[in-house]
Amino acid sequence: MNPLLAGRDLLDLETLGRPEMEALLDTAATFGEVLRRDVKKVPTLRGKSVVTLFFENSTRTRTSFEAAGKYMSADVINISGSASSASKGESLRDTFLTLQALTADLVVMRTPYSGACHQAADWVGVPVVNAGDGTHEHPTQGLLDALTIREAKGSIEGLNVAIVGDVAHSRVARSNVWGLTKLGANVRLVGPRTLLPADAERLPATCHTDLREGLDGVDVVMVLRLQLERMDRALFPTPREYCNLYGVGTKALAAAKADAIVLHPGPMNRGLEISGDVPDLPRSLMERQVTNGVAVRMATLYLLLGAEG
Ligand code: ASP
């Protein structure tokens, strides 16, 4: 059992220590080996129950938490927000107390409300994992991105990373800024002024409104989706203009290092924030990100549940 994380919550990378982050990455790397086996099943979490509670849509994150729990023999119960009693007016606190009374050992939650996972973690005695809270953080995404970069580049220390696009609405960007800078990278945020965070000065990153300048000499280009569902007004003139100025295609990538890698947390809008061909280039590691997502979530469940062996 690794005492660093046993019994704790995973709510953000802003307050998570570097040793804890490295423990998660190193453990995920060992679970990567289980994922390459023909029989992807270990008994590590037999008898443990994991509840995933998703109040927002998800393909990758929910499925990979479920796969992670099942590959380690945990019982995984998935609840979607619309199917829960929250849709009948039950408060989030009562929903959590019910899950605790149903003897869940760990709860994974996604919510449109920034800060709601921290709130929930105060109400229950079991570990809570933030699977994305509003525009705040998405710590397991930050960890899987760090793992993918570390695998491709050997180390994160000293790398220059550009995070491009709708940074203002991106919980992925925030987790990456905190996580990657703690691991020694320099992070640049690149996008139109309206899509850069209003509180950018408190983030350990530089801001760039010119795409070429932002990508100049970087080792990693992380492209973000335009989160239209979180915009209540027009923040850029037209999708075509956004694509012309900030769409990441092969021409824009020429400013980055020749061996720069490209990441995208998904879901991707090909032809908008990223050109149609870039995701299929060998330097684009989106599929690797998805596989590493399962490994990181296995490591998260394993370490937070204080499993042995
Ligand atoms: N899947 C990521 C998230 O849930 C990124 C996105 O939706 O664009 O934050």
pLDDT grade for 102, boundaries at 50, 70 and 90: confident
Ligand 1 centroid distance, CA of 264 (Å): 9
pLDDT tens figures, 40-85: 999 999 999 999 999 998 989 999 999 999 999 999 999 988 777 8
Ligand 1 neighbourhood includes 172 CB (under 6 angstroms): yes
Helix/strand/coil percent split, the chain, to 5: 40, 15, 40
Ligand 1 centroid distance, CA of 265 (Å): 6
Distance from C-alpha of 272 to C-alpha of 268, rounded to nearest angstrom: 9
User: Order of strands, edge to edge, in the sheet holding 220-223?
Assistant: 206-208, 186-190, 160-164, 220-223, 261-263
Which pLDDT does position 235 carry in this prediction? 84
Ligand 1 neighbourhood includes 174 CB (under 6 angstroms): no
Ligand 1 centroid distance, CA of 182 (Å): 22
Ligand 1 neighbourhood includes 247 CB (under 6 angstroms): no
Which pLDDT does position 184 carry in this prediction? 98
Distance from C-alpha of 91 to C-alpha of 85, rounded to nearest angstrom: 9
Measured CA distances, 214 to 37, 59, 121, 174 (Å): 40, 30, 37, 17
Which pLDDT does position 228 carry in this prediction? 87
Closest residue to atom 8 of ligand 1, CA basis: 225
Ligand 1 centroid distance, CA of 171 (Å): 7
Closest residue to atom 4 of ligand 1, CA basis: 132
pLDDT grade for 309, boundaries at 50, 70 and 90: low
Ligand 1 neighbourhood includes 138 CB (under 6 angstroms): yes
Which pLDDT does position 83 carry in this prediction? 75
pLDDT grade for 308, boundaries at 50, 70 and 90: confident
Which pLDDT does position 89 carry in this prediction? 85
Measured CA distances, 176 to 114, 246, 293 (Å): 16, 20, 14
Which pLDDT does position 80 carry in this prediction? 87
Ligand 1 neighbourhood includes 191 CB (under 6 angstroms): no
Nearby residues of 190 by Cβ (< 8 Å), 6 or more positions away = 162, 163, 164, 165, 167, 207, 208, 209, 210, 211, 214, 215, 246
pLDDT tens figures, 212-269: 999 999 999 999 999 988 888 888 889 899 999 999 999 999 999 999 999 999 999 9
CB 106 within 8 A of CB 305: yes
